[in-house]
A and B are shown apart, each in its own frame.
Chain A
Amino acid sequence: MNCKEALDVVSEALDETLEESARREFLEHMDRCSACRTYVEQIRVSVQALKSLPKSGRPNGRRAEIIEAYRKKFR
């Protein structure tokens, strides 16, 4: 696998959905190429950061209307 081929499958590699032979070739390329290795590690950290983003936020102003619509369905 060369840089282009490896960069095409970064997302699959991080999601661990690469087939075994492709996974092996990907890892071999990472061993050889420090630029790709650094890049992929930084993408991995970026994905981890995205997963860590807080999911709370300001409450929806229409919450009461939404609950009322649900209540109505069962009246």
Chain B
Amino acid sequence: MNGNEVAAGVPTPEAVLLAKLRAGDEAAFAALVDGLNCRLQALAATFTSSPALAEDIVQETWLGVIRGLDGFEGRSSLRTWIFSILIRRARTLAAREARRAGVVSANGAAPDQEEWDLGRGRVGLWEAAPEPWTLDTPEQVVQGLEALEIVRTALDGLPESQRQVVLLRDVEDVPASDICNILDLTETNMRVLLHRGRARIRRALDLYLREGTRPATAHTPVQETR
């Protein structure tokens, strides 16, 4: 039995969808594309600053999905499987593009702020002790469109590997173990990248909520070592 079947023999909604996709149900496929396309675009954009290349990556991903549908074993959710195809395609295409353009990777470049790491305590997280945000309820942040815009901009500005982990874990709610598999990260590395990314988002919100400062608009993804 795989993850798309249940013991009682009643297929899960995902198993039903998969059966439709394998049977050539165009409406089901179109709905899948419409539901996921811009999210794939966001993930593809973490690998390249070129919108055209990001579109190529997404298109190649869907072609990979079409080819691989019959072989999909359901060991992860359909969505996680599609994300994993995208990441493989993105790595290949982005590397090819970088070679063609003669881009020298900026790996090892000094980060724009000190990075947190395990055992470093507050270094890289805060300089002065965090002060509470003056909110009646924390949920006010989530409800405020402007604050969400701050979060989006901060997310877009994260170094690429942090952005990939935060996008998959927090925005897309992909299980942590699946993220380790599809990004080829150890559990520890994934946790460190996640905390670094979350800490930068918190910092942006902190600046905005306490000082009204907005982060600079999204810049070219920062290349960095993993």
A-side interface residues toward B, CB under 8 Å? 3-4, 7-8, 10-12, 15, 17, 34-35, 38-39, 41-63, 65-67, 69-71, 73-74
A–B pairs, 28, beta carbons within 8 Å: A4-B120, A7-B116, A8-B119, A10-B198, A11-B191, A11-B198, A15-B176, A34-B129, A35-B122, A38-B129, A38-B131, A39-B122, A39-B125, A39-B202, A42-B130, A42-B202, A45-B133, A47-B170, A47-B198, A48-B139, A49-B142, A49-B147, A50-B170, A51-B171, A53-B151, A55-B171, A66-B62, A70-B24
Alpha-carbon separation in the docked complex, A58 to B51 (Å)? 12
Alpha-carbon separation in the docked complex, A17 to B34 (Å)? 33
Distance between A59 CB and nearest chain B CB, rounded to angstroms: 7
Number of interface residues of B (CB under 8 A): 54
Distance between B139 CB and nearest chain A CB, rounded to angstroms: 7
Which chain B positions have C-beta within 8 A of A7? 116, 121-122, 125
Which chain A positions have C-beta within 8 A of B38? 55-60
Which chain A positions have C-beta within 8 A of B29? 67, 70
B-side interface residues toward A, CB under 8 Å? 24, 26, 29-30, 33-34, 37-39, 41-42, 55, 58-59, 62-63, 66-67, 116, 118-122, 125-126, 129-133, 138-139, 141-142, 147-148, 151-152, 155, 166, 170-171, 173, 176, 191, 194-195, 198-199, 201-202, 205-206
Given contacts A3-B121, A51-B171, A55-B39, contact A62 B142 (CB under 8 A): no
Alpha-carbon separation in the docked complex, A58 to B24 (Å)? 26
Alpha-carbon separation in the docked complex, A35 to B122 (Å)? 10
Contact of A38 among B37, B59, B130 (CB under 8 A): B130
Interface contact B199-A43, CB-CB below 8 Å:
yes
Alpha-carbon separation in the docked complex, A39 to B101 (Å)? 42
Chain B residue with Cβ nearest A3: B121
Contact of B142 among A17, A48, A58 (CB under 8 A): A48
Which chain A positions have C-beta within 8 A of B141? 45-46, 48-49
